[in-house]
A = this chain, B = another copy of it.
Amino acid sequence: MRYEHRSVWVGVAALAATVASVSAVADPDLDKQMADSSNWASQAGDYANHRYSELNQVNASNVGKLQVAWTLSTGVLRGHEGSPLVIGDTMYVHSPFPNNVFAVNLKDQTFRWKYEPKQDADVIPVMCCDTVNRGLAYGDGKVFLQQADTTLVALDAKSGKVVWTAKNGDPKIGETNTNAPHVFKDKVITGISGGEFGVRGRLIAYDLKSGKKLWTALSSGTDAEIMFDPAKTMTWTNGKMAPVGKDSSLKTWQGEQYKLGGGTTWGWYSYDPKLNLIYYGSGNPGTWNPAQRPGDNKWSMTIFARDLDSGQAKWVYQMTPHDEWDFDGINEVPLADVTVKGKKVPSLVHFDRNGFGYTLNRETGELLVAEKYDPVVNWATKVDMKTGRPLVDKRYSPGTTGPDVNVKDICPAALGSKDQQPASYDRKSGYFMVPTNHVCMTYEPFQVEYTAGQPYVGATLTMFPAPNSHGGMGNFIAWDAGTGKIVWSKPERFSVWSGALTTAGDLVFYGTLEGYVKAVSPKDGKELWKFKTPSGIIGNVFTYQFGGKQYVGVYSGIGGWAGIGMAAGLTESTAGLGAVGGYKDLARFTTLGGSLFVFSLPET
C-alpha cells in the first residue's frame, strides 16, 4: 500500500517542461512554477489534486512552536473558501463576492495591485450556499479569476491589468460561479453553479492566451451536447467497461426535464498530463424532488474523464443514479497510483457526498473500490460492485415514499459525508487525509414549478448531528483507498469544512468551523498544534517557502453551506437547505470574518 509517489509526479512535471517546445500547447510557465515547491502555483498545489508539499522545514518535531507570522484582511466578510496562490515573491489573494484580488509583495505585505471588480449584487440571492469563491488559477504570466457573475477574467500577474474576459453564463437564469478556474496546458477550464435553479451543468474550456471558447461539454443532453461518442465513451457495465451507447443521457430523463437537469460543475478538477485526460464530477439533477424526474438522470452525479484537447468523454461513472438526497458528485478527484489487491493501478479516488469513497482506474474508468467512509451512512447498504450502483435502503428513500412525505434519519445529510472541502494525499503513506461531515437529515420533497432565476429545489430539509455521534458533527480521517477502510478517525465538534494539506514534514493540516487551524500526525491523527483564528475556517491550508523560510497559511472566514446561517443572517432551521438548524451552535463559537493567516517557526 505504501507508495512513494513523488518521483512520478515530479517526473511528469519535469517531462512536460522539457517537451514544451515540441508540444506547442503546454504552458511552460505553470509547469515550471509548479515544479518548485517554494510556490503554491495552483489551488491543489499540482494537477493531481494531492494538496501535498515537499517542504519539511516545519515538521512533526517543531510544529508545536508554529506561530502567526503575518495576517491580512480581505476586506470582505462571509465564507472564505479556497486558498491564495504563491508565485515567487508574490501572493495572490482572493475574496468571496465581490471577488477582490490582491497581489501581495511577500517582502513587506504591501499590495502590488488590487483588482476590485464591480459586480451586480443581484447575483447574491442566486448563490444557493453563500457567496464563496474557491480561488484563482495561474498560468502563462496571468492570474485567472472566475467571478460570481460568471465572468472569467484573465489578469496580468505583474500589473493586475485585465488581459481578457469571457462570459460563462447568465445569473438571470440562476447561473453563477463559485469554482476555481483550472489551468491545464494551454487551456483554462471552468464550470458553472446553480444546481438549485435548474441550470444545465457544463464544463467549458478557454484558450489560455486569448480567452477564446474552445469547447463546452454539458452534463446532460444529446450526445453532441455532452460530447460523448456512443461507441467510444465507456462506462462500468456488468463488471466491465462498455460503450455508453446512443442517447445515454436523454434516455434517462422524462421529456425535456434534462434541460433543467443540473449536473453542475463547481468542484476541483484533476489533470493527468500523460493521458491528457481531465477529471471532474457533476452535481445534482434538476429539482430535488425525485418524483418530478423519473430515471437515472444521467449524467448528473457523475465522474467524467475527458480528453483535454477535444473535450470528448473517454469514460464516465455515475455514483448516485436518480438522486433523492442532493448527493452532488462534484467533490475532488485526486489522482494517485493505488495498490488494489496487490496490484498498482493508476487510480482516481473520490470521496462522494453520498458517503462512499471510490477508487477507479483513471485510465479505463473501471470501478475498483466503493466503501463507506463514515459508518453512519444508511441511505444505501452498499455499492453493487458489478453494476456500480448503490443498493438503496427504501426506508431512507424520499423518491419511493413520494412527495410531501417526511423521510427521517437519512444519513448523511444533503451536504454529504463530505462536501467540497478537499482531501489531501499523503505521498509517503499513500493514505488520503479526508475532512468529513457527520450529519443526518429529514427530507420532504414537494412539487415545484420551474421559473427562470427562481429556486427550483422542491424539498424541505432539516439537518442534525449524526445520532451515533463520534463526538461531533465531523471527523478528520485517514483513508486507505486500496482497501476502502478508515485508518484512523479524529472527531471534531463540527463538520471539517476546510481543505487538508499534507507535507513531507510528516504533518497534515486542516481548519475547523470554530476557527482552529490544526496540525496532526498523518500516522495516527494525533493533534500536534492548534491556533484559534478570528473566524471559522472553510478555506484550504497551503504552504510555501520565501526567503528560505517555510510558511503555512489559511483563510479564516465562516460561511459556505455549513455556515450559511451565520453568513446570510438566517435563523429559520430549515433555511439554507436545512443547514441553519443543523449548525445553529456555531454562533456560540465564532463570528463572521475574512482574513488570511500565515504561520511560521519563530526566529531561533
A contact residues vs B (CB 8 Å cutoff): 65, 67-68, 70-77, 102, 109-111, 114, 531-535, 556-557, 587-596, 602
Contacts and interface: CB of A to CB of B under 8 A. Distances in A.
Contact of A596 (B102, B110, B534): B534
Contacts of A75: 77, 535, 591-593
B596 A71 contact: no
A71 B532 CA distance: 6
A602 B601 CA distance: 12
Most B Cβ at <10 Å: residue of A67, A531, A593:
A593
B533 A71 contact: yes
Contact of A111 (B68, B102, B588, B592): B588
B111 A534 contact: no
A402 to B, nearest CB: 42
Contacts of A71: 532-534, 556
A34 to B, nearest CB: 28
Contacts of A590: 73
A58 to B, nearest CB: 15
Contact of A532 (B67, B109, B587, B593): B109
Nearest to A557: B73
Contacts of A588: 110-111
Nearest to A596: B534
Given A109-B532, A602-B602, A593 B68 contact: no
A535 B596 CA distance: 11
Chain B CB within 10 Å — which of A70, A73, A110, A590 has the most?
Answer: A73
B111 A589 contact: yes
Contacts of A532: 70-72, 109
Given A72-B591, A75-B593, A110-B589, 5 more contacts: A65-B602, A71-B532, A73-B590, A73-B594, A111-B589
Contacts of A593: 73, 75, 594-595
User: Number of copies of this chain in the oligomer?
Assistant: 2
A81 to B, nearest CB: 16
Contact of A73 (B114, B534, B587, B602): B534
A320 to B, nearest CB: 37
A73 B111 contact: no
A67 B70 contact: no
A77 B593 CA distance: 9
Contacts of A73: 534-535, 556-557, 590-595
Contact of A72 (B114, B534, B602): B534
Contacts of A556: 71, 73
A44 to B, nearest CB: 25
Contacts of A72: 532, 534, 591
A533 B73 CA distance: 8
Q: Which 10 A-B pairs have the closest CB atoms?
A: A73-B593, A75-B591, A73-B534, A68-B68, A75-B592, A534-B595, A73-B535, A71-B534, A67-B67, A70-B532
A83 to B, nearest CB: 16
Given A534-B72, A602-B65, A114 B587 contact: yes
A594 B593 CA distance: 7
A596 to B, nearest CB: 7
Contacts of A111: 587-589
A301 B562 CA distance: 52
A68 B67 contact: yes
Contacts of A76: 77
A531 B593 CA distance: 20
Nearest to A593: B73
- By CB atoms of chain B within 10 A, which of A531, A588, A595 has the most? A595
A110 B532 CA distance: 11
A77 B68 CA distance: 22
A84 to B, nearest CB: 14
A136 B596 CA distance: 28
A102 B591 contact: yes
A94 to B, nearest CB: 13
Given A67-B67, A602-B67, A74 B591 contact: yes
Nearest to A72: B534
Contacts of A102: 591
A587 B556 CA distance: 21
Nearest to A71: B534
Contacts of A534: 71-73, 534, 595-596
A398 to B, nearest CB: 36
Contacts of A531: 68, 70
A101 to B, nearest CB: 12
Contacts of A557: 73
Nearest to A558: B73
Nearest to A73: B593
Q: Give the residue among A102, A110, A591 with the most B Cβ atoms within 10 A.
A: A591
A533 B69 CA distance: 10
Contacts of A594: 73, 593
A299 to B, nearest CB: 41
Contacts of A602: 65, 67, 602
A102 B533 CA distance: 16
A197 to B, nearest CB: 29
